[in-house]
Structure 1
């Protein structure tokens, strides 16, 4: 006798629960990759913006006088008491005409094209007693004998070899020099050149249920008052350029132009002592470590692996705990070292950050921090990075660098 069978008209509760579990696991998996995907999407967009804007900046530099040494000047901070002329300077008429304050080694100096930074009155140098490690007339804005082993706002800096750490003088076209009032009037024009104003100006409410709002100019005429007539724009991306002796082209005047794109650039913090006519280059910050700037930071390279074969390498960096330890993958840093050959120019090379380790206690500095950073870029042009001190300049939100070979 055959066994009767009954047709099922539904599914069991166990099957429903199992299906719900599979669905939830799938949804959680998708949700978990959304932040990662969003971060990669943002980096991709920034890389695209950086590449386009860097190409625009290179074209602007080539069509202007930014690469004419006879038309570039720098802040001359060798004397004090020159009334209220914040942009005191003397012309740089030929390569090597920078003052021998240890910021350059050799007769072919490196420099940084950065008029927007120099147009800020709250820039330049500390008092003549060198009470801290800052010198905003150079890039990065630290004295050449400053070591990341101590806080840059320390009231008593260690004395050492003034040529120990090479810097780049910040330069600007001679046309913007003069009185503070003239400098401030020209400031808007400088900003329009060095900042991209293609972004819309937005306000984002703290309440996530509310929509962002665009800012706009409004009409103030008759019945049309308070009607939006034109959207406001703002710039999130700006640029600077470093010009350093070429390490790949052997020819008189061969230099490497590196255009650096920076997102939401922050300048120096306000000094604790105001700039006055008797001390126009004063830049003494408070003793609070939180006052240390983050836009340009320094770390000492204490170990390096690789940098042979064009694939980059890894470095171990250490710094004082008073120096912010934030480094982001996808951003760019600059390594600087004195030349092994006496009288030859210092070495400055830009690298892209590929990966960063977690922070650990420093083994070199008491109370400092240490990180291992994987870098992508060219081979290091010298024998090693540790026989002579090598410093890493960390520029906050440096999202792209475009380099070309030029001749001055």
Structure 2
């Protein structure tokens, strides 16, 4: 007797449940990738904006001839900021052009003339009552003047600094309540001398968020004999995103502030292309353990160091920018030459060579004075400026 095969004319409930499970797993996998894709998309958009903004800042820097240090001079007429002087000579020292910072630290002094607080003209900022100034690398922080009337020279205003040194490409929009309508740009009225005029008759300027800003550092090149080059300068355009400037910082502040953090550096390698270094917190900085724990891969730090031998008793100082590409998972604790507990973290840097002999083999268990006297070495200092997202470097020639 032949057995007839029963032909199935549908699908079972078990097959439906298995198919639904496979589809659900696929949808959940796609949904889990969406936040990562959004983050990468945001990084890509930011990188494209930084590249465009950085090239524009470099061109603006060149067009305004800021590379010429002839105007970097100290005005002795009760003015604590650096301005162009008629008899100024070309500076052979490193300097930083940072009008946004200078404008935020402007006070009123003699005859109501605006001046800049005395420690704001150093980069990085430092507290007068903090660490000793011995062998600590600093550069001049300066800004172009706003106006000069006779012997009185006024520092740049915050509005003018924001106009020149911030981005205007990130336009500001307002979303209507009706989401079917497109966003509307926002405008500022310009030179509106008659507020009664109709809005359409007043000249307008597009508003921008200004989330990107820039400053510049200019460092003379030094050869192996510790002599300054009269022509070559290393120009670094430093790009910030959502930079925070604390105008309350002054020379009597209890610490060095939260936006320009200083660390001591131990070179763990040869210094070629940056390499592995150990960052150490300053004993005078309260809450310094949190500083290193907030450092992230992708941040930028600036190394600074003095060059031996000193020329005429003045140490030549050099500065280089580096990007953090790797770091230890946690911070560690060690003691310095005073027996004070400090926090450390090992990081890997990528950037120019840091290979001069006076920067290598510095011993943190001995004082800076003993290092210089016994070994001829100088302490390297790292400065972490919060908000830096990119640094564009170029060697320029000053004629």
State the TM-score, normalizing by the size of structure 1. 0.70
Closer/same/farther in 2, CA of residues 362 and 24 from structure 1, 3 Å limit: farther
Matches within 5 A, 1:64-103: 64-74=64-74, 82=78, 87=81, 91=85, 93-95=88-90
Which of these residues, 153, 157, 171, is aligned with residue 130 of structure 2? Answer: 157
Distance 2:221 2:231 in 1: 9
Structure 1 residue runs without a partner (length 5+) = 97-107, 125-133, 147-155, 205-210, 272-281
Which of these residues, 97, 100, 111, is aligned with residue 113 of structure 1? Answer: 97
Matched, 1:401 2:375: no
Q: Which residue of 1 aligns with 2:221?
A: 246
Q: CA deviation at 1:14?
A: 3.6
Which of these residues, 287, 290, 293, is aligned with residue 322 of structure 1? Answer: 287
Matches within 5 A, 1:184-195: 186-195=157-166
Which of these residues, 274, 283, 286, is aligned with residue 251 of structure 2? Answer: 283
State the TM-score, normalizing by the size of structure 2. 0.72
Distance 1:335 1:389 in 2: 10
Structure number with the higher strand fraction is 2
Matched, 1:302 2:276: no
Q: Would the aligned equivalents of 1:266 and 1:295 in 2 still touch at CA under 8 Å?
A: yes
Q: CA deviation at 1:306?
A: 5.6
Q: Would the aligned equivalents of 1:122 and 1:283 in 2 still touch at CA under 8 Å?
A: no
Distance 2:343 2:28 in 1: 36
Which of these residues, 202, 205, 209, is aligned with residue 234 of structure 1? Answer: 209
- Residue-pair matches, total: 346
Cα deviation 1:307-361 (Å, max 9, x = unaligned)? 43x4x42222121562433223333221112224333622211112223433323
Closer/same/farther in 2, CA of residues 305 and 47 from structure 1, 3 Å limit: farther
Distance 1:363 1:203 in 2: 52
Q: CA deviation at 1:243?
A: 0.6
Larger CA Rg, structure 1 vs 2: 2
- My pick for the range that moved more, 187-196 or 233-242, is 187-196
Q: Which residue of 2 aligns with 1:382?
A: 356
Cα deviation 1:62-119 (Å, max 9, x = unaligned)? 222312222223577xx9xx4xx664768482355xxxxxxxxxxx311101123212
Q: CA deviation at 1:16?
A: 3.3
Q: CA deviation at 1:402?
A: 1.2
Distance 2:135 2:153 in 1: 36
Q: Which has the higher contact order (CA 8 A, sep 6+)?
A: 1
Q: Which residue of 2 aligns with 1:153?
A: none
Distance 2:145 2:197 in 1: 46
Q: Which residue of 2 aligns with 1:361?
A: 332
Q: Which residue of 1 aligns with 2:40?
A: 40
Structure 2 residue runs without a partner (length 5+) = 109-117, 176-181, 363-377
Q: Which residue of 2 aligns with 1:373?
A: 347
Distance 1:259 1:195 in 2: 13
Closer/same/farther in 2, CA of residues 184 and 405 from structure 1, 3 Å limit: closer
Q: Would the aligned equivalents of 1:245 and 1:345 in 2 still touch at CA under 8 Å?
A: no
Closer/same/farther in 2, CA of residues 367 and 22 from structure 1, 3 Å limit: farther
Distance 2:198 2:64 in 1: 46
Matched, 1:168 2:136: no
